[in-house]
């Protein structure tokens, strides 16, 4: 009877280990567009500050150009802009003879690099991805799509976006990766400037939304099981309408095609005009003009056909417009050199994969992809990241199910040996006592 109970206990132990961690490692990736690395020092938040204190925090060095589409795609692919091909929010492709704009969803523009939501699903094991309003999230990649990837819809309220995340975690089977994008505080930063009360209010709203997510995860007993990464694509700089450079003051508009212009200008000279345009623009104050071949290698930017023959950058705080008709009244912008701290975004991570109360050194935005793949326990697609740069923020890895299974077998074997040894010892003791009784002389 005792031995049969022992077998039942051992069987229960092994079954528990085999069934351990049936849910795949789960990660929620959240982007707050234009959330500068030092905003948390300027605004008193509740949930964001708590997550930073009890998790990991850092400033991130993003990619040049420091624009929304390029850096959001770098986060999820781990590739530099010249490699994933999304080199600006607006761009011209000389092979397609077409212009890309933010509403473009043709897969051919995105097919150079694999996003983490595809990497996750390709490796099976019940892994499913959901993408909500992220750059390229609703675009198929070589025929594959995230399991849940509705079209971009800016009108979806922030709370509803969090509810959509929760619905994907609640479903059966649940997703194990969700990416969700919020367009603040970028929108307020452009309109009012990074030091405005409107940006502070936008941050407090995002803090409340994050608090709602944490509260709902706790209700579901998931908060301690789910990993959360909160980050952004770029920072924000103070600008005004008095710091504008007018292209028409230096070059004739009938000599070139202007693909896009803000902090940077993308110029396609008409035939025979490249040298004249370069020479004339080089005379303009607050501008740095490049032939495409001369763009610095360390920007990892020039080696893509979508970068125009003439590329112009402006000094920090300045912007480039064609003429006075294009003058606007924005008070914030980005796109400047990624060595400038005001361009750097924030990073907070919390969950079972991360250390607590750890402030990391700055790392590259392309390293986030390999970090996510490590958390999700998947093999990364080719990328430009370096996991070693972010590995120090990770907790010591939990033992795998295989290791736990081996340990369970050893423990179970020891228990059985002890139980059997106890039974043998008890049997021998009883036999000895029985023999003593029979050996005694009843008449002595």
- Residues tagged active-site: 68
Helical pair 68-77 and 367-376, crossing angle rounded to 10 deg: 40
How many other CB atoms sit within 10 Å of the CB of residue 197?
Answer: 9
Contact predicate 78/369, CB 8 Å: yes
Q: Which helix (H) or strand (E) holds 244?
A: strand 244-246
Reduced to 3 states (helix: H, G, I; strand: E, B; else coil), residue 345 is strand
Reduced to 3 states (helix: H, G, I; strand: E, B; else coil), residue 29 is strand
Contact predicate 62/220, CB 8 Å: no
Instruction: Please give the Cα distance from 262 to 377 (Å, whole number).
Output: 40
Instruction: Please give the Cα distance from 219 to 43 (Å, whole number).
Output: 28
How many other CB atoms sit within 10 Å of the CB of residue 39?
Answer: 25
CA angle, residues 28, 333, 51, in degrees to nearest 5: 30
38, two tokens: 């030092």
Q: Which helix (H) or strand (E) holds 57?
A: strand 56-61
């Amino acid at each position: 009877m005792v031995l049969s109970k022992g077998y039942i206990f051992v069987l229960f132990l092994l079954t528990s280990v085999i069934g351990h961690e049936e849910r795949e490692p789960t990660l929620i990736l959240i982007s707050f567009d234009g959330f500068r690395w030092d905003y948390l020092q300027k605004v008193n938040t509740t949930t964001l500050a708590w997550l930073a204190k009890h998790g990991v925090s850092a400033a991130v060095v993003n990619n040049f150009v420091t624009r929304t589409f390029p850096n959001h795609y770098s986060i999820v692919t781990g590739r530099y802009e010249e490699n994933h091909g999304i080199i600006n929010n607006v761009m011209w492709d000389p092979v397609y003879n077409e212009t890309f704009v933010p509403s473009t969803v043709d897969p051919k523009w995105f097919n150079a690099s694999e996003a983490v939501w595809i990497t996750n699903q390709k490796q099976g094991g019940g892994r499913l991805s959901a993408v909500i309003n992220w750059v390229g999230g609703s675009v198929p990649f070589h025929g594959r799509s995230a399991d849940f990837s509705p079209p971009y819809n800016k009108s979806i309220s922030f709370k509803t976006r969090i509810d959509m995340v929760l619905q994907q975690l609640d479903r059966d089977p649940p997703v194990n990766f969700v990416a969700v994008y919020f367009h603040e505080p970028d929108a307020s930063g452009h309109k009012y400037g990074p030091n405005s009360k409107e940006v502070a209010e936008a941050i407090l709203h995002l803090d409340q939304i994050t608090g709602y997510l944490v509260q709902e995860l706790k209700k579901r007993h998931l908060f301690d099981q789910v990993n959360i990464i909160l980050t952004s694509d770029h920072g924000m700089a103070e600008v005004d309408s008095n710091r504008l450079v007018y292209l028409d003051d230096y070059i004739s508009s009938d000599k070139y095609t202007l693909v896009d212009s803000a902090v940077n200008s993308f110029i396609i000279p008409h035939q025979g005009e490249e040298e004249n345009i370069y020479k004339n623009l080089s005379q303009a104050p607050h501008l740095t003009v490049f032939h495409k071949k001369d763009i610095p290698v360390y920007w990892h930017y020039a080696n893509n056909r979508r970068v125009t023959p003439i590329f112009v950058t402006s000094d920090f705080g300045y912007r480039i417009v064609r003429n006075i008709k294009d003058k606007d009244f924005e008070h914030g912008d980005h796109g400047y050199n990624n060595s400038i701290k005001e361009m750097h975004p924030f990073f907070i991570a919390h969950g079972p994969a991360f250390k607590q109360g750890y402030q990391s050194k700055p790392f590259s935005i392309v390293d986030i992809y390999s970090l996510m793949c490590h958390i999700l326990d998947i093999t990364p697609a080719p990328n430009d990241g370096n996991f070693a740069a972010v590995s120090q923020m990770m907790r010591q890895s939990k033992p795998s199910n295989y290791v736990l299974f081996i340990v369970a077998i050893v423990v179970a074997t020891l228990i059985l040996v002890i139980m059997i040894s106890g039974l043998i010892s008890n049997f021998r003791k009883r036999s000895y006592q029985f023999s003593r009784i029979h050996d005694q002389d009843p008449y002595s």
